[in-house]
Amino acid sequence: AQSVSQHNHHVILSEAASLELGCNYSYGGTVNLFWYVQYPGQHLQLLLKYFSGDPLVKGIKGFEAEFIKSKFSFNLRKPSVQWSDTAEYFCAVNGDNAGNMLTFGGGTRLMVKP
Amino acid sequence: DAGVIQSPRHEVTEMGQEVTLRCKLISGHNSLFWYRQTMMRGLELLIYFNNNVPIDDSGMPEDRFSAKMPNASFSTLKIQPSEPRDSAVYFCASSPGQGRGGNTEAFFGQGTRLTVV
């Protein structure tokens, strides 16, 4: 079975600070990995995804994530956050034997102080 | 394409009443997911369909919950009878569902905010 763990439940940063949100997954085979963002009162939207190839993936709004297979990790990063990045961030995994099922982590609430 | 469409956007109902939530998939997608989101429990997968067939319903809380896909583009989630603890935001998501290295990205609807009083 596949599972995802996000260790940071709440993160508070000041504007211009750098961001790194942790994501570790548990699955023995090939994986597709995703980061979704949920702005207050809205639905989940895709930030970026990894299927294969370059393990450093660039997404929208200056976000990037690095797939480190040996560590089963897919951490999300942004060099300089803005107040508008205040949201909840979800990491998700789809394993190659899991059909099309996505498993989400528990989410990380990010608050950026102006 | 208009994306995943859920209705209603908001529903307030009395305890004991039947509630039906509706979801229209993106055309051409063949995987459908129902999620529930609460402050206490976060985002929970309730049920997952592939090609109209329920694949995993282990997240459905109890027999009061049922989900169907009468056709390839439409799904319903029914709660009967509803209880106050069912109050949550219910999201539907669809995926192209190509699996195994293909595009398994899920596209979410706007959600239905359910309040049971």
pLDDT above 60: residue B99: no
Beta strands in chain B (DSSP E): 5-7, 10-13, 19-24, 31-38, 42-50, 53-56, 65-71, 74-79, 88-95, 107-108, 112-116
Q: Does B46 touch chain A (CB under 8 A)?
A: no
Say how many C-beta atoms besides its own lie within 10 A of residue A82's C-beta. 13
Is residue B100 less than 8 Å (CB to CB) from chain A?
A: yes
pLDDT per position as a tens digit, A31-44: 899 999 999 999 99
Has residue B56 got a pLDDT over 70? Answer: yes
Higher pLDDT, B52 or A1: B52
| Interval B102-117: pLDDT, tens | 567 899 999 999 999 9
The length of chain A is 114
| pLDDT at residue A87 is higher than 80 | yes
Å from B114 to nearest chain A CA? 14
Chain A residues close to B50, C-beta within 8 Å: 99-100
User: Would you place residue B42 in the very low, low, confident or very high pLDDT band (cuts 50, 70, 90)?
Assistant: confident
Cβ within 8 Å, pair A99-B42? no
For A82-109, what is the mean pLDDT?
Answer: 89
- B56 in contact with A, Cβ within 8 Å: yes
A6 Cβ under 8 Å from any chain B Cβ: no
Q: Rounded to whole angstroms, how far apart are CA atoms A96 and B100?
A: 5
User: Which positions in chain B touch A94 (Cβ < 8 Å)?
Assistant: 99, 104
Best B5, B6, B7, B43 member to test A by mutation, with max A CBs in 10 Å, is B43
Q: How confident is the model at residue A112 (pLDDT cuts 50, 70, 90)?
A: very high
Q: Which residue has the tokens 């129902």?
A: B34
Give the pLDDT mean for A89-95: 92
Q: Is residue B39 pLDDT above 90, yes or no?
A: no
CA A36 to chain centre: 6
Residue B16's pLDDT is what?
Answer: 97
